[in-house]
Every structure is written in structure tokens, then in C-alpha cells.
Structure 1
């Protein structure tokens, strides 16, 4: 880091864009970097992203620490002071930044605030940070990782998974996740694991810790792989389509699952209602050397000219299963969002079923941990449509992922699930159900 405060000011702006403007993490980071431009070095940008995401992962713990150290609660009017404290404590406890750098910079930033009452808080900021620095062991262990999960969300998880599993999930959500790569040629997993400095996963993916800039890695320009969490690779695998089969990929962008089907030799039609997302989809396919038919339309109203025996519906959802990589999700969603999304998913499911031929196979999946978006959706579908049956997923189809298979044959991966006993790093939370139509 440079000696000045530029990186920390940028981290503050990054955090505010997420918490106040409710921007997704990647968009907030891009806007922050554009605003600061050449003032940020490559090292500064890496520091800003790491500091901001680490702060978000520990947000509940950080607030509990701040409240523990103050006799007067910091109100919303002091949100900038609170954010400065959040970032400084993150540096002290979770980034091993020297105390003099973390504390002094926070005091200076507080002293430069426009609001005089904020400036007057610099003594409090200094006192809180000095105390936490003196008592690092206490503050590092006293505050449970479960504090980082909003109460409504934690309650919903405990009701479904039990408190023990939620505790494990909370710990898993604190770690910087590795990158998983799906390969154009899965038979070359061992070779690509060696080239990328990673390990081969049971499903044929490659996992890399601290991969660095993706576009600079071996094989990127040649389109030999794409980044895809191992859990996200399971739906296309479980669909079971083979070379020459016609596959309909609904809500297809950014295209990881489509790429899996194309790599098998399937004939794919990709549908997405966002022209912007489909442009990105097409750029991704171009890099990989793939091409397929794309359709810009609402998947709920799409009517193909010919039937597709294989349909994959990766429905819009709350994305609570992706919080390892997107810790902002827990602060951007609420119970009303889950209800609204569940209605969208119901409509998309009914639409997909209406165009599925008899004997055809449908995969429904969401990167969600919420009951309403997963088990409840399938239970309601099977209840209202007697022509649809579940095709249970079995352990021999998911080597290394047996813990994710539910009693009814659906799949729910969780953040603390590992691809194999000896392979750490967790995975995203995905719900997957495989269905077929028995009659018209």
C-alpha cells in the first residue's frame, strides 16, 4: 500500500456503494476503481477489494464489537464513522495490518469528515481501535461467526438445516473461496491441474487456491476452460444429455452450463430475457470456441418450434447460496424478496413443463439455500401437476457429493460441503431437482 490514504478512502467508497446504494459487489468495485482511476495502483486495487469483501464477510461481528466498545450506540447519522471503524477492525483482526497503520489511518479519515460531529468522534475511534488491538485474542474469539448472518436469514436456515449445520455454514462463509474451473476436455483434468497449480476434483473440474487474474492464466485465451463453481457444474451433468441431443437452456447467461452441454456435443438453444447478459454470454462462447442459437425473450413465454427432450432451468433466485463469493447478498435480500422470487420461479417452472415432451427431462436449479425456492417449489409442482414425476439423483451419479443428496433424490449443496473428504474449500449452495413428464 502507498503511504497515503488513497486505498482506504477507496475501500470506504466501495463499502458505501454496496451498503448504501445496494450495488452488487463487482459493480461497486468497478465503479470505485473508475472513480479513482490512476490514483489506485494495481496493489491498491487488490487491497481495496480484499479489505471491502473481508469487511462484508465479518460485518455482523464487526458491529457487535463496535457496540461492545461504546456506551452510546452509533446511530445511522454516524454511518461513515461506523464504516471507518469496520474497515479498521477488519485490518487489525483479519488482515494482520500493523496497528499503527490501521489505527492512525482511521483517525485521520475521521478527522477529515465534513460533519463536525463526525470529526469529534476521532477520539472515540482511536480508543475503540486501541482497545481492540490490545485485546485481539478476546475480540477474535468472543464474537460468533453466526452474527454475520442477518437474523431473518439465520432463522430460516436453522429451521431447515439445524443449528449445527448453520454454525458450519457461518464459518465457511468467512473464508476466501478458491476458484473452480470447468474444462472443455474433462479427460485433461490432471494436466490442467498441473498447469494451473490446482487439484483435480471428482467431477472433472480443477480447483485452484489464489489463482490471481483469470485472464492471465494458462489456457484462457485459447478457451480451454471457464470459471464455474463445482456446485454450479452439477445441474448440466445431472441433466444427462449426450452428443447430438437437443438441449434448451432457460435463463442461460452467463453461460457456464450451456458451455458444458456444448462441450459434450449437444445442440443447444440458450434463452435469456436480457440482451445485455446474452451479449456477455456470446462473448464467453466466442472465447471458448462454441456457438449456439440464442433467443432474447422471457423464458416464461418462450414457445419453441420443435420439442426439446432436455431442458435446464437455472431460475432467478435470491442467490443466498453464493455468499462465499458475494457476501453482499445477505445485506441486499429480505423475506419479501424471497416471496417475490418464488412466484417468478413457479411461473418459469410451469412454462418449462408446458413445453417438455413426454419422457423428456427437466433440471430445475437455483443457487439458493432457501426452502421456498427449492424443496417447496418442487413439492408444490408435484402436487398441482400429476403428469410430472421426480427422477431421483443417486450417489453413483455424484461421486464425492453424497452428503448433498436429500432423502427424496433432490440435491442441496451447502457452503461447508467439500467435493471430497480430502479436498477443502467448500462450494456454493445449489438446489437441484430432476423431473420428467409421464403423459400429456
Structure 2
């Protein structure tokens, strides 16, 4: 038999096309690996993990699967372990595949056949029968996830010792679902979406939809900012005067200060984050001078009236929106961040004029980055004293602790939907 005149060239090792929906699950697996094995922040890992996904919906699905798996990880693992004779290693691909399949079915409403069909190809060359068998056994047996998720044991114990059992229970309840969306208004009379008014310039929305399509976004009337994150700038009050916002990006506090009449210098070490700050300032039309520099090697030309240090920290207070911090912010990270905060405080305290104000804040639930940091600073700097907030400084529901500082915990504003965990203190430098 003669050969064809134009034979088709051989294509050895061509990988079959992915089944529909599988690329998003592969990206979710990459995200979980980045967080749990490498310790990367979920948001930072997103571009690389979703590089093969052309559609925004697929990227959103990958993020949603990974984030929900992190919210439910101890409970997902307990289910998996209950159905295996020998415990799968924490970093085994089979365990990750089962986490992804189970969280879709038990928390995100994906039909079981679709959840497993899009996950099994991810374990090609591995224990597919095991994954299929464990998943089938659990789903046929009516497996469920608890309404209130289980916190990672090390985190729960650390917070139990620091804040008590009630705070741990509130944290577990808070992580069950993504939190509401808070907006800070540049002007309390400006066009903004309807919602719960936590303060005249603060709105809280539930199921808000795409942020860019909300009323007032294009006009720059508001920006997204948790109500707890608005507290540090509130404690500096209104200008005029010279103010520095240290570690300023993405710019919520800078914009608050500018809207309050301060002449703001926004200091940011990261050029990429500074670009986001520029974008937010351009959208809102609020003025600020952006300086890209390391605060440990920079100083203002003259002392300033007000300084806001929103210090780099473990970020454990924002676990509701970023559940990855529960697995990344271990004790060594907290210690490293506390050491950096002490350096920043010691250096920047010199930038404040006598009689001026300094606000120190962290979005952390760790005493080492809040109460302990304040005690050390006051011992080293007798020229500073705590200036407790007055009733008019704060939205309803917030109050100073006995030491004059603010501490928001899981359970703060629980009836209104909660808030992030923050430590905030206002200090005044003694007059010369």
C-alpha cells in the first residue's frame, strides 16, 4: 500500500487537552502549594498560579477555591484522615486534590461528579484510585463541614493565651465566610452606595458585587478600607499641618489624612506598592507627596506635626479576608516583624516636633506587635506619653483599653459583621 502523499508529522508526547474546568483547579492547587509549602501570601502567589488562565472568571474561581480551602483546612484534613488507613503527608498531591474536591462539594456547592472529575487529572501518575475512593466514601457517607470552622491548633492556642476562649470562638465564627465590604468616604456628603453607616464617613456593604461598578467609584468619592483600618488616621484628627504616613501603600490612611486637611508625605519602600498608591490618589483626586524610600535610611527635611506608622506586621488581624496568614504567620515571623517595628519606631520618633503626635498601628492580633511594643517604646522614650482617644475620636462600638490604646479583637462589632484585628495607640511628644 503506497504511503500518503503528505503524511502528518508525528506529535509524540502531546498532552491531551484539559477537561473543562480543570485549569482553574490546577491553579488552585498551585495556590495552596505556594501558601502551605513555600509560605507565600495568597494574593502575591495569584499571578503566577493563574498564569495559564485567560478568563477572569477562572482566576476568580481558583482564588475562591484556595481561599475557602484555607478557611476550612483543619476540618477538611480531619475528614480526609477519617477515610484513610495511613495518614497522607501534609504536602502530598493526593491530600491537596482531596481538599480541593471536598471544599467545592461541601462548601461551594459544586456537584460531586464535577468536583472529582476536574481534580482527578491533577494526580496523573499518582494515587488516583485512592483520591477517587476517599472522595466517594466521604460524599456517599454524607460528610459535612461544621458551620463554625476549626482554627489551626497553634493559632488557636496562641490567641487563647493572649485573649481568652471567647476571642478564639469569635475568630472561628468570623472566618466562616468572607467579611462585608467597608468603604471610607472622602466627604460624608458625597455620592456613595447605600449601606450600614458605621460612622458618617463609613459605609458597610454586604454582597456588594464588583467594586468598580458601585456608585461613586469612578468619581473617586470613596475607597475600600475596613473600619478598624480607619482608626489610626482618625486619631490624628484634622489638619492643617505637616503629616507623614509611613509604609503608606495602598493609601487608605494617606487619603484619610489628605481628606482631613493635612499636607501629607506618603512614604513607601516598594515601587510596585507606591504605584498602587499613585493610582488611588489619582482616582480620588486627593493630594499627597509620594516618596519611595526606606524609612530606616530616610528622614524628613524638618520635624512634622503628625506621624502615622502603619507598621509592617504579621497581619494576623486580617485573617477574615486573608486566611493564608493563619498558616504563614508563625512565631518566627512575629518575632522578625516586632524587631523591625521597634527599629521603625525608634527612628521615626525623632521626626515628630515637640508637642506633635505619633500614631502607631498594626493589623495584628499578637501582643508582641502591639502592647509589648508600646511598653518597650515608652520605657525607652520618656519624652512620649499615651494620649487616650476621646469619645468624639472614634465610631460607635470602639473604646480605649485601660492603657489608653485601642485593641480590636475577633468579636468587636460582631453584631454589625465584625472588623479586622488592630492595635492602635496615639502618643504625644513632650514640648521642649
Q: What CA distance in whole angstroms lies between the structure 2 residues aligned with 1:361 and 1:36?
A: 49
Q: Kindly report which structure 2 residues correspond to 1:236-255, keeping only aligned pairs within 5 A, or say none.
A: 236-242=233-239, 244-255=240-251
Q: CA deviation at 1:156?
A: 2.0
Alignment partner of 1:221 is 2:218: yes
Alignment partner of 1:235 is 2:237: no
Q: What CA distance in whole angstroms lies between the structure 2 residues aligned with 1:417 and 1:135?
A: 38
RMSD of the alignment, in Å? 2.2
Match of 1:381 in 2: 377
Cα deviation, 1:39-68, whole Å, max 9, x if unaligned, reads: xx3433332221111011111221122122
Q: CA deviation at 1:278?
A: 1.8
Q: What CA distance in whole angstroms lies between the structure 1 residues aligned with 2:174 and 2:21?
A: 34
Q: What CA distance in whole angstroms lies between the structure 2 residues aligned with 1:42 and 1:305?
A: 45
Q: CA deviation at 1:333?
A: 2.1
Secondary structure at the counterpart of residue 231 of structure 1: helix
Structure 1, unaligned runs of 5 or more: none
Q: What CA distance in whole angstroms lies between the structure 1 residues aligned with 2:63 and 2:87?
A: 28
| Conserved 8 A contact 2:363-2:420 | yes
Q: What CA distance in whole angstroms lies between the structure 2 residues aligned with 1:182 and 1:370?
A: 26
Q: CA deviation at 1:135?
A: 4.0
Q: Kindly report which structure 2 residues correspond to 1:39-438, keeping only aligned pairs within 5 A, or say none.
A: 41-75=55-89, 79-110=92-123, 113-114=124-125, 118=126, 121-136=127-142, 139-141=144-146, 145-146=149-150, 148-151=151-154, 153-188=155-190, 191-194=191-194, 198-202=195-199, 204-242=201-239, 244-402=240-398, 405-418=400-413, 421=415, 423-424=416-417, 426-438=418-430
State TM-score, norm by structure 1: 0.88
Secondary structure at the counterpart of residue 193 of structure 1: coil
Cα deviation, 1:382-418, whole Å, max 9, x if unaligned, reads: 122211110112444323223x532222111124322
Equivalenced residues, count: 414
**Cα pair distance change 1:104/1:292, threshold 3 Å:** closer
**Cα pair distance change 1:346/1:89, threshold 3 Å:** same
| Conserved 8 A contact 2:198-2:395 | no
Cα deviation, 1:324-374, whole Å, max 9, x if unaligned, reads: 111111222221111111111111111222222221111000010000000
When Rg is computed on C-alpha atoms for both structures, the one with the higher figure is 2
| Conserved 8 A contact 1:414-1:429 | yes
Match of 2:27 in 1: 10
Q: CA deviation at 1:192?
A: 1.6
Q: Which runs of at least 4 in structure 1 moved beyond 6 Å after TM superposition?
A: none
Cα deviation, 1:122-149, whole Å, max 9, x if unaligned, reads: 232223222322344x6423x9633x32
| Conserved 8 A contact 2:361-2:423 | yes
Q: What CA distance in whole angstroms lies between the structure 2 residues aligned with 1:218 and 1:173?
A: 28
**Cα pair distance change 1:64/1:144, threshold 3 Å:** farther
Structure 2, unaligned runs of 5 or more: 1-18
Cα deviation, 1:213-236, whole Å, max 9, x if unaligned, reads: 323333222211111111111110
